[in-house]
Structure 1
Amino acid sequence: MAGGFDPSKDKVLQSWRSEETGLVVAIHSYDGGEAKLQIGPRMLKKKDGSDRAPVKAGRLTIEDVQWIYDNIDDIKDGLEEHNNPMD
């Protein structure tokens, strides 16, 4: 089989979720490679409070940007930690 994306090799190392907008920011590593940041998807809530199926993040609102700004130090620290585990 030709090479391609294999979901079983994609590992979520750490994630954050905005309760207000449902935006998810996560650190992923593919096949043991460098840890990288992914913005999205959105995990929106149903009326009963359960999660809907994930949707693309799309364009970011000012609320999304503010949430990322408020959490950027934790996100950056997590990314550094996963890329430099011995430091």
Structure 2
Amino acid sequence: MNVQCAFDVCVAELRATGMRDLIVFCQDCRCSHNGKLTADYVDRWPDDVRLSELEPWFVCKACGKRGAIFRGCREETMMAVGR
């Protein structure tokens, strides 16, 4: 299952909003594994890289499937995933 985003954000646009941490969700909806990428990790990426370009490179540590969905790490998102 390949989920397409309604909009495609580059790292510079993400930083411009003040958001630097990301939550990464496994693309397999049956798995629902997620993890947090801190600003230290995200800041390694160049400004012009789109998140959709990075999503296929991530592999879930729980189920082993390739593909991820990135979401900004807001307080509401953290509460929804139980962190």
Fold similarity call, TM over 0.5: no
Richer in strand (by share): 1
Q: Report the TM-score, using the length of structure 2 for normalisation.
A: 0.30
Q: Report the TM-score, using the length of structure 1 for normalisation.
A: 0.29
Larger radius of gyration: 1
